[in-house]
Structure 1
Amino acid sequence: MTPETVITLARSAIETTLMLSLPLLAVSLIVGVVLSVFQAATQIQETTLTFVPKLIAMFITLIIAFPWLMDTMLAFTRELITTIPQYIK
């Protein structure tokens, strides 16, 4: 296995990880900003006010995006497994 191959595999793994985490992180960011604006407007400083809605929004996003997440993970795993003989050489 050459260093270029290792770098390519690592880059592909990092890209896949970032792509899979993007929907959840984006929803968390949007909900957090909306709730921060709400807290600033009402001056309510309750920590559970931000935690619980973020958790619920991320859970809903996970349910909606799960088929795409699984397809992406399976495609990456399938590609990795099918190219093992090339890496051994």
Structure 2
Amino acid sequence: MDEALFFDTLRQGLWVAVITSVPILTVALVVGLLIGLFQALTSIQEMTLTFVPKLAAIVVVYWLSMGFMTQTLVAYFRDTLVPLIIGG
């Protein structure tokens, strides 16, 4: 495997990681901002108030986007990694 092919495969793998993590990270950011705003407006500084809703939102989004994530990872493995393994 030459250097260009290695770096191209690595770039594609990192892009797949970004694409599959965007839904969860976006929801965590939005929920965290909303909870932080709520805490700032009401002066409630309870630590579980930030953790529990964010965890619940992440679990829901993960469950909803699990099919997309699986399809993306399987496509990367099937189209990129398996031909590299078979070919050399």
2:33 is matched with: 33
CA–CA distance in 2 between the matches of 1:74 and 1:85?
16
2:12 is matched with: 12
Question: Is there any run of 5+ residues in structure 1 with no aligned partner, and where?
Answer: none
2:83 is matched with: 82
Sequence identity of aligned pairs in percent?
34
CA–CA distance in 1 between the matches of 2:16 and 2:82?
15
Q: Give the superposition deviation at 1:36.
A: 0.4
TM-score (norm 2): 0.94
CA–CA distance in 2 between the matches of 1:13 and 1:74?
12
**Is 1:44 matched with 2:34?**
no
CA–CA distance in 2 between the matches of 1:59 and 1:13?
24
Q: Give the superposition deviation at 1:85.
A: 3.7
TM-score (norm 1): 0.93
Q: 1:27-84 deviations in whole A, cap 9, x for unaligned?
A: 0000000000000000000111000000000000011001111110110111110343
Moved over 3 A (4+): none
CA–CA distance in 1 between the matches of 2:6 and 2:84?
13
CA–CA distance in 2 between the matches of 1:85 and 1:74?
16
- Computed over aligned residues only, the root mean square deviation of the Cα atoms, in angstroms, reads 1.0
